[in-house]
């Protein structure tokens, strides 16, 4: 007898690989491809996602922090890894030691890399971050850029191999399109004096699909790698994650019964309820209670009452064959029905990225592949 785990996210590695291949086929052959595996691979598992992406054609990887890059290196991954966050004194040496490409946007950051490189007697690769309108990190103008370039000339243990910016509204409306085009022109202007050997990149997932002419030397595939392109695209991409729980208890309640904290739900008719082994401590959004559904035996079941820390309840009055121990699909497919991260995000008032990254430490993770 197979036992369904209490709470599991199943990751289809073949879908990740195929998504990478599809993205690869949609960008110019001359452009390299970065798979963004930060935030534990957007909740899919950084190492496993990275290996599948490399198999699908990724030339490089990107992470948010040095610690994430170290994790990849310690698992034997040797392709170039870019740390997207700005270099800091606390981890610059570890980044240099593990051969990570670090991000600089001030002379002080360059000097930090030089100190680490001199101590280790090795050269550190860096990419220059340029702020063209995101307002986060990066040099903003010629003066700030030239200050960094001057610092690089004085630092023999630091080698500039790339420059990049990040589009803030590439998935936006007409104004967003216009702003993205302005960002692109500013990026070209600020990178014009850089040597030809310096790789330039600006396209995130939205821009990969919407502005293929902006591919330049590298593109960065983030959310699209996981099957959720932020804009319409003809590129064939498939969600890679399924999230399941289990029915732990079933009861019949008379009309007028309350369910869960705060008595926010009161039945106006007899209702059959299922208690489900997932709550907000597992990463399911409490805000989904008002509009959310789960899938049981190929049918939608409405979440009723507030989502608890460890459990939630659903109305299964119309699912006569539901039983204790049945699988509950929170994210994914059951029969002809499906719930994706975009739909859950609409219930919670957030974005699909946050849904994918939300699972707690007690949610099991299982990997499958069809190739």
Considering only CA atoms, give the Rg of the chain. Answer: 24
- How far from 20 is each of 30, 222, 240, 361, CA to CA, in Å? 16, 10, 12, 27
Q: Assess whether 265 carries a catalytic annotation.
A: no
Contact (Cβ atoms closer than 8 angstroms) between residue 340 and residue 348: no
Contact (Cβ atoms closer than 8 angstroms) between residue 230 and residue 222: no
What is d(CA 237, CA 228) in angstroms, rounded to the nearest whole number?
7
Residue 259 has φ and ψ, to the nearest 5°, of: -135, 125
Annotated catalytic residue: which of 55, 98, 261, 333? Answer: 261
What is d(CA 83, CA 70) in angstroms, rounded to the nearest whole number?
10
Instruction: Tell me how far apart the terminal alpha carbons of the chain are, to the nearest angstrom.
Output: 27
Structure tokens at 340: 């994706």
What is d(CA 299, CA 2) in angstroms, rounded to the nearest whole number?
22
Q: Assess whether 189 carries a catalytic annotation.
A: no
- Rounded to the nearest 10°, the torsion over CA 127, 132, 135, 141 is 80
Annotated catalytic residue: which of 38, 129, 226, 265? Answer: 38
Contact (Cβ atoms closer than 8 angstroms) between residue 97 and residue 72: no
Contact (Cβ atoms closer than 8 angstroms) between residue 61 and residue 34: yes
Catalytic positions, written as ranges:
38, 261
């Amino acid at each position: 007898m197979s036992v369904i785990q209490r709470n599991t996210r199943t990751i289809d590695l073949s879908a990740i690989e195929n998504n990478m291949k599809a993205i690869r086929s949609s960008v110019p052959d001359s452009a390299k491809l970065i798979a963004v595996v930060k935030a534990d691979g957007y909740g899919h598992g950084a190492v496993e996602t990275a290996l599948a992406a490399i198999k699908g054609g990724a030339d490089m990887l990107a992470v948010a922090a040095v610690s994430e890059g170290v994790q990849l290196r310690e698992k034997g991954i040797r392709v170039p890894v870019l740390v997207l966050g700005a270099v800091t004194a606390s981890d610059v040496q570890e980044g240099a030691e593990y051969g990570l490409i670090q991000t600089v946007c001030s002379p002080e950051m360059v000097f930090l890399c030089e100190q680490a490189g001199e101590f280790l007697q090795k050269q550190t690769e860096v990419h220059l971050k340029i702020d063209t309108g995101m307002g986060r990190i990066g040099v903003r103008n010629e003066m700030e850029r030239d200050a960094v370039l001057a610092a690089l000339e004085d630092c023999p243990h630091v080698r500039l191999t790339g420059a990049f910016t990040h589009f803030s509204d590439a998935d936006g409306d007409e104004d967003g399109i216009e702003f993205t085009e302005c960002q692109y022109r500013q990026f070209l202007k600020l990178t014009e004096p850089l040597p030809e050997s310096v790789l330039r990149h600006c396209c995130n997932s939205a821009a990969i699909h919407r502005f293929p002419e902006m591919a330049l030397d590298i593109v960065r595939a983030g959310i699209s790698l996981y099957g959720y392109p932020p804009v319409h695209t003809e590129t064939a991409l498939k969600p890679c994650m399924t999230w399941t729980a289990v029915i732990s208890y079933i009861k019949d309640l008379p009309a007028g019964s309350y369910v869960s904290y705060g008595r926010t739900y009161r039945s106006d008719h007899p209702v059959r309820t299922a208690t489900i082994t997932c709550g907000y401590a597992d990463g399911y959004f409490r805000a989904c209670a008002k509009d959310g559904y789960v899938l049981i035996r190929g049918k939608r079941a409405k979440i009723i009452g507030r989502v608890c820390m460890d459990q939630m309840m659903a109305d299964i009055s119309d699912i006569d064959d539901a039983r204790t121990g049945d699988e509950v699909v929170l994210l994914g497919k059951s029969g002809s029905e499906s719930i994706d991260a975009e739909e859950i995000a609409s219930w919670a008032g957030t974005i699909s990225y946050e849904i994918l990254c939300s699972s707690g430490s007690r949610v099991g993770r299982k990997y499958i592949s069809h190739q």
